[in-house]
Amino acid sequence: MNIALAGLTAREEVALGMLVGKSLPGTQCLAATDGPKAPLPPADLYVVDLAGRGMARWTDAAQVELLNSLGGAPAVLVAPAFDQTWSALDAHLRQSQPLVLLHKPYGIEAMRAALQEAAAGPRSVALRTLKPAAPGAADVRPVLRPSLPPQRAGTLPPAMALDVLGAVPAMGAPALSEPTLACADFQARTAALPGKPLFLRRLAESLAQPHPFELRISFVNRMIFHPGGQWAASNTPPSVLEQLCKDDQLASSVEIDAIDSQDALARAARLDIPAQPLEALLWKLAHGLADSKA
């Protein structure tokens, strides 16, 4: 059986190649490296990173493009962390093919189960979703390193190709009742604030970029945002954030650095900063800080 990997990074391709070799003997992995919009190569099963294929969020057009590219073949669909839009595929799916939806960050066992589920063959028309484990669960998120091209997978020791650092729990999905605020709405609220605090202005400008970034507020206090992945992490108390909004000189000392998208979650884990849905944190910032400036 051939499995085509589409939209994944080189590190993920190496790690998945090793995982597939152990979980599905006799299976060969093929990397689709011709670009996010290139036709997928013929395969018996696909692993598709939706964001890597330019489909981070579900739309009618994205669904049609995805299903056409799969050509009825089974697939594991990897969605961004906390994204729930691709669940809409369940209601619209009209092809009898096993599709397993897996959210980042996923553990080794979750990916193995998804591969085996997809390879098992058609069971129903409905989309099956494998959600990340709740915080504290035994499943751990693999940290993939180093950044080496896929063709060198055979030369990599297993410990280098797929390395689990400590017990980093996978993040649970957000509660549906949790209030949220979209990036565009946060930027609009910030622009309308009297005085326009420098800290909130700098944050709103940074959120316009899809890549992750880190706010280094102090040696201890950090904030990590990933607009493209729709998640954020912060260990900065409200009192510190309020002070930053009151003091533009203090806010100017905050360093904002772009970080690698593949390292963002690992960095949050190393700093022991809990991750949460981006729009939930923006709602807290808007109502806890922005409203106090109105």
- Residue 178 domain flag: no
Q: Does 104 share its domain with 11? A: yes
- Assess if residue 262 is contained within a domain: yes
Q: Does 131 share its domain with 41? A: yes
Q: To which H or E segment does residue 185 belong? A: helix 183-191
Instruction: Please count the structural domains in the chain.
Output: 2
The per-residue pLDDT for 38 is 81
Single pTM value for the model: 0.49
User: For the segment 226-282, what is each residue's pLDDT rounded down to a tens digit?
Assistant: 988 888 999 999 889 989 988 999 999 999 999 987 778 888 888 888 888 888 889
Residues 12 and 142 in one domain: yes
Instruction: Find the domain containing 16 and state its range.
Output: 2-161
Question: Edge-to-edge strand order for the sheet containing 99-103?
Answer: 28-32, 2-6, 45-49, 75-79, 99-103, 128-130
2-55: per-residue pLDDT in tens? 898 988 877 778 778 888 877 777 788 888 766 677 888 888 899 999 988 888
Task: Let me know whether 119 and 200 are in one domain.
Answer: no
223 found inside a domain: yes
The two structure tokens encoding residue 91 = 């209601």
Q: Is residue 274 part of a domain?
A: yes
Residue 166 within any structural domain of the chain = no
241, 192: one domain: yes
